Amino acid sequence: MPELQRLRLDHAPALLAFEQENRAYFAASVPDRGDDYFAHFDARHNDLLTEQAAGLHFFHVLVGGEGEIVGRVNLIDVADGSAELGYRIAQKATHQGLATRAVREVCALATADYALTRLRAVTTLDNIGSQTVLTRTGFVPTGETLVGGAREIHYTLGLVRRDRETGTAVADHL
């Protein structure tokens, strides 16, 4: 089972391979990253790590047994106890429950390690798989918008920090 890891510098080659191998698959449901993303990948990767170190974002990858990346789950635009969740799973790794498991793990990290109290997410109306992952993990739809001709559904999830030993809710996040 792939392991969720916080993004590091040494993930760069495997992450680039993941993005290149799945580019057409991802572009079918989300806007393509464009050629510039791939041409300047190393610089972009370093920038993301700098932003992560500053607490602006928290990036995670799902790493398989051979060191290959099969998914990523990110918390971006961290501010005021809130962040936006985004994720993508390699085409060869879909329909295995990896996205649901990874989102649950990141939600736990969001409260325990990052002190977040609310997460947001957005998906397109035709992305049933993503909608399923979000509802399975407790996200609630809050509205729809029309962006570039595509209908997007917005979701939110309130987080409650729990004591690691007892599992009881901690009052400062209630």
When comparing pLDDT for 35 and 167, which is higher? Answer: 35
Residue 150: which CATH number? 3.40.630.30
Check residue 174 and give its pLDDT. 38
Residue 137 DSSP one-character state: T
Assign 96 to helix, strand or coil: coil
Domain that holds residue 83: 3-173
82 phi, psi to nearest 5 deg: -130, 160
Token digits for 79? 């501010």
pLDDT tens sequence across 132-160: 999 999 999 999 998 877 789 999 999 98
Check residue 173 and give its pLDDT. 40
| Whole-model pTM over 0.85 | yes
Contacts of 122 (CB under 8 A, 6+ apart): 84, 152, 153, 154, 155
Contact indicator for 162, 111 with CB cutoff of 8 Å = yes
Q: How many domains does the chain divide into?
A: 1
pLDDT tens sequence across 70-119: 999 999 999 999 999 999 999 999 999 999 999 999 999 999 999 999 99
